[in-house]
């Protein structure tokens, strides 16, 4: 064990001892009540045992109904008649004059204290603000200079504050990961607060009830319950406030994650139930077309893996006695050795297996020959050792009889898709997917949570989308006829940004010729391949091909593509909303402090080049508030897009920053062209000429290199002496 962990364990042990001592000195009645509860439990079990076997006994097996000897005060009286009297008097006490006067007196006293605090607080706050203002005033150009108090504090911070904070965080992380110490502390606290006692008494009551029950003693149970709970009143109010605040903070985070997951599920239902295999997203510039398409790509990739696992589960339950773990391990090795590398190779492998298997079971001589080869290690056991004669080779699913051989082929293809450790996304721009596979050597599982994964873990386990080589979809002419990737594509999710600029419409391609050697949009047969791509990507009637394009207007792409899919317009987008409950308090604090500080900060930066301790502290505090606010919105924020599908159906789609803005794609996906263009010049924006007045001169208009200006220049003759003459 590391020395650091030994120290942390010692601290945890000291905390545990402190809790025990606290319980022994402040909650000693709880331990006496625990002994009584254990006695009640033992007597109840003994009484039940004696009654079950008709054994005589003289002890009281129903001691759970006896009042405890421990002097704990209950909020209800010990006898039921007194309780009824209090209930009857409650109404009259509620409208009692003395009670009403006391109530309003409490209100007046509370208001008096509140105003008294304000009267004292306002001058104090005013003086503090005035001192801060004086400390931040003044002007200088001492860039990079720090005040002496700031230098001293930074030295203290570096040596004391930062190491302390680091160790506290490290200790908190240690406790978070330590089930032993958390359980130990919890047990001690539960014993001290009588919670364990109440639990034992409830179990004792259960055994007593098995022997019979007398309703006349039910009230005493409530009396004892409230008496046992009265121990909680000894816990300081400040502790309960801290517990309540921490509990609310934990609850609201969990609720926020639930709301995120709920909206993601709505998105998936929209994708699966409303959209078809091919979808075009279109809207105005900067409306979020590529963003929405990328979001859909991420969800659809998960859907493909889910469908693949569902196929495996169906087949698994159809042949529950098949050794699937052995089969999967064999498939994993064949895939790793590149013997099985696509759906077609799997299909061919199991076609040969089917022929071999049918011959094995039909031909006795061949069976002997094959078994002999297996015994010598020259062949694998047929069907991985599955006993066909005992378990059967067919399954009736009420639709058709399924052969074990066909089912194995489908299982292997689904397993190939599910277990593929690379992205299932093909795109003409970079897309990063953060689904992580967890393979301990058995059945792999996918970590598919977009929201609760820590940033570091998500960034350390990423997969990049495959480069979509357009030649994969060109059945006719290709850019490279010898392209080794031209026949690779079988299944996946295709994302194509600016698809109209690649395929064009009839006006764009009207001058292109089909019967030429050079590849173009008329002779590559892209559309024909695209429209048939679902067929090779189908397993057990489930499709594993989906395609998405984005563009600014659907009219910019040929009708042959435009009309085979759904056209989804992004009509409008709502502003970002917070899904985590009770964030209004955080937002109020942020709005009260951050905007005002920002203005004061840049005024300070304008007037002064140095830095002092006051501004340093203020910036630290406001930075913490700002970072909390930003992180909360980045995690629990949500925008609602209002979509129109095929100009008739309206739908909502939810955009959540934690899913789509976490380094998944770059919104300037094709900026590399323009960066290369800008790299060819030695001039910048500051070098471009500006207008000399509020009206452009002719010379300035000529610098526009405009078609409009050029056409007017054809008809106007500008002469410095004679003015403007119109040409014939």
CA nearest 476: which of 500, 501, 508, 512? 512
Contacts for 635 with CB less than 8 Å, ≥ 6 apart: 256, 451, 580, 657, 658
In whole angstroms, what is the distance from residue 683 CA to residue 666 CA? 27
In whole angstroms, what is the distance from residue 565 CA to residue 494 CA? 14
Q: Can you list the alpha helix ranges (DSSP code H) found in 470-540?
A: 499-503, 506-509, 526-532
pLDDT at 719: 47
User: Cα 300 from chain centroid?
Assistant: 16
- What are the residues facing 572 on neighbouring strands? 642
Q: What is the pLDDT of residues 126-138, one digit of tens each?
A: 888 899 888 888 8
pLDDT at 209: 83
> Is residue 644 classed as helix, strand or coil in its secondary structure?
strand
In whole angstroms, what is the distance from residue 277 CA to residue 547 CA? 6
CA nearest 527: which of 540, 543, 514, 511? 514
Contacts for 281 with CB less than 8 Å, ≥ 6 apart: 289, 292, 293, 548, 549, 550, 551, 568, 570
Q: Where are the domains of the chain?
A: 1-235, 244-504+512-573+637-683, 582-636, 689-726
CB 59 within 8 A of CB 47: yes
Question: How close are the terminal C-alpha atoms of the chain, in Å?
Answer: 99
What single-letter DSSP state applies at residue 435?
-
CB 161 within 8 A of CB 154: no
CB 637 within 8 A of CB 583: no
In the chain (728 residues long), the average pLDDT of successive 10-residue segments reads: 82 95 91 91 89 83 81 79 78 76 87 88 89 89 91 95 94 92 94 92 87 75 87 91 94 96 96 94 92 96 96 96 95 95 95 93 90 88 90 91 95 96 93 88 90 71 90 90 92 93 86 86 88 92 95 90 93 95 94 94 93 94 96 96 94 95 88 88 92 91 89 70 44
CA nearest 639: which of 586, 549, 579, 569? 579
CA nearest 530: which of 489, 484, 566, 482? 489
What is the value of pTM for the model shown? 0.87
Contacts for 191 with CB less than 8 Å, ≥ 6 apart: 23, 30, 31, 34
CB-facing half-sphere around the CA of 319: CA atoms within 13 A: 27
In whole angstroms, what is the distance from residue 289 CA to residue 499 CA? 12
The radius of gyration of the chain from alpha carbons, rounded to an integer in Å, stands at: 38
Q: What is the pLDDT of residues 228-269, one digit of tens each?
A: 888 998 899 999 999 999 999 999 999 999 999 999 999 999
H or E segment at 152?
helix 148-156
What single-letter DSSP state applies at residue 285?
T
In whole angstroms, what is the distance from residue 413 CA to residue 304 CA? 12
Determine how β-strand 466-467 pairs with β-strand 278-282: unpaired
What single-letter DSSP state applies at residue 157?
I
3-state DSSP of 683-719: CCHHHCCCCCCCCCCHHHHHCCCCHHHHHHHHHEEEE
Burial track 497-509 (b if 16+ CB lie within 10 A, e otherwise): bbbbeebbbeeee
């Amino acid at each position: 064990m590391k020395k650091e962990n030994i120290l942390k364990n010692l601290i945890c042990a000291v905390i545990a001892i402190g809790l025990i001592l606290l319980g022994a000195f402040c909650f000693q009645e709880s331990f006496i009540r625990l002994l009584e509860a254990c006695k009640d439990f033992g007597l109840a079990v003994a009484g039940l045992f004696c009654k079950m076997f008709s054994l005589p006994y003289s002890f009281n097996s129903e001691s759970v109904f006896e009042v405890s000897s421990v002097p704990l005060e209950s909020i209800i009286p010990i006898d039921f008649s007194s309780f009824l009297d209090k209930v009857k008097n409650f109404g009259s006490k509620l409208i009692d004059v003395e009670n009403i006067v006391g109530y309003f007196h409490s209100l007046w006293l509370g208001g008096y204290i509140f105003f008294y605090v304000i009267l004292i607080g306002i001058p104090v706050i005013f003086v503090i603000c005035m001192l801060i203002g004086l400390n931040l005033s003044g002007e200088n150009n001492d860039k990079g200079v720090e005040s002496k108090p700031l230098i001293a504090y930074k030295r203290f911070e570096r040596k004391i504050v930062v190491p302390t904070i680091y160790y506290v965080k490290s200790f908190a992380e240690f406790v978070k990961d330590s089930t032993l110490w958390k359980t130990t502390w919890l047990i001690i606290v539960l014993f001290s607060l009588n919670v364990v006692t109440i639990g034992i008494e409830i179990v004792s009551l259960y055994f007593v009830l098995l022997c019979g029950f007398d309703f006349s003693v039910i009230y005493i149970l409530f009396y004892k319950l409230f008496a046992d709970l009265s121990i909680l009143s000894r816990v300081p109010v400040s502790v309960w406030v801290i517990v309540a605040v921490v509990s609310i903070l934990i609850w609201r985070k969990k609720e926020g994650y639930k709301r995120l997951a709920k909206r993601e599920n709505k998105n998936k239902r929209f994708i699966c139930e409303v959209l078809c295999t091919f979808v075009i997203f279109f809207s105005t510039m900067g409306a979020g077309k590529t963003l929405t398409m990328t979001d859909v790509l991420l969800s659809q990739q998960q859907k493909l893996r889910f469908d693949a696992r569902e196929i495996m589960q169906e087949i698994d339950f159809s042949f529950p006695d098949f050794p699937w773990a052995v089969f999967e391990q064999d498939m994993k090795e064949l895939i790793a050795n590149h013997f099985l590398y696509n759906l077609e190779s799997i299909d061919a492998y199991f076609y040969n297996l089917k022929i071999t298997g049918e011959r094995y079971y039909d031909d006795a001589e061949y069976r002997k020959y094959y078994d002999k080869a297996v015994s010598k290690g020259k062949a694998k056991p047929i069907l991985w050792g599955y006993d066909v004669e005992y378990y059967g080779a067919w399954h009736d699913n009420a639709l058709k009889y399924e052969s074990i051989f066909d089912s194995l082929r489908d299982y292997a293809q689904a397993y190939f898709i599910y277990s593929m450790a690379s992205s299932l996304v093909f795109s003409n721009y970079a897309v990063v997917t953060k689904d992580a596979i967890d393979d301990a050597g058995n059945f792999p599982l996918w970590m598919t949570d977009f929201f609760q994964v820590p940033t570091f873990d998500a960034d350390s386990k990423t997969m990049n989308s495959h480069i979509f080589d357009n030649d994969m979809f060109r059945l006719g002419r290709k850019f490279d006829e010898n392209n080794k990737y031209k026949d690779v594509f079988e299944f996946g999710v295709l994302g194509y940004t600016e698809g109209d600029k690649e395929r064009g419409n009839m006006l764009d391609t009207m001058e292109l010729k089909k019967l030429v050697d050079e590849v173009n949009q008329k002779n590559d047969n892209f559309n024909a391949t695209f429209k048939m791509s679902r067929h090779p990507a189908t397993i057990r009637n489930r499709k594993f091909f989906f395609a998405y394009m984005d563009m600014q207007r659907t009219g910019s792409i040929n009708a042959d593509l435009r009309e085979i899919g759904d056209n989804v317009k992004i009509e409008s987008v709502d502003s970002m909303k917070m899904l985590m409950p009770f964030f209004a308090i955080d937002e109020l604090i942020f709005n009260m402090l951050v905007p005002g500080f920002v203005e004061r900060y840049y005024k300070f930066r304008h007037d002064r080049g140095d830095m002092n301790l006051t501004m340093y502290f203020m910036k630290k505090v406001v930075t913490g508030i700002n970072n909390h606010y930003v992180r909360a919105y980045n995690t629990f924020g949500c925008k609602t897009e209002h979509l129109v599908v095929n100009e008739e159906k309206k739908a909502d789609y939810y955009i959540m920053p934690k899913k789509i803005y976490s380094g998944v794609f770059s919104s300037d996906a094709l900026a590399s062209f323009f960066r290369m263009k800008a790299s060819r010049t030695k001039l910048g924006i500051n070098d471009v000429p500006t207008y000399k007045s509020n009206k452009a001169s002719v010379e300035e208009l000529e610098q526009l290199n405009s078609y409009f200006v050029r056409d007017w220049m054809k008809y106007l003759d500008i002469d410095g002496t004679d003015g403007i003459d119109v040409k014939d």
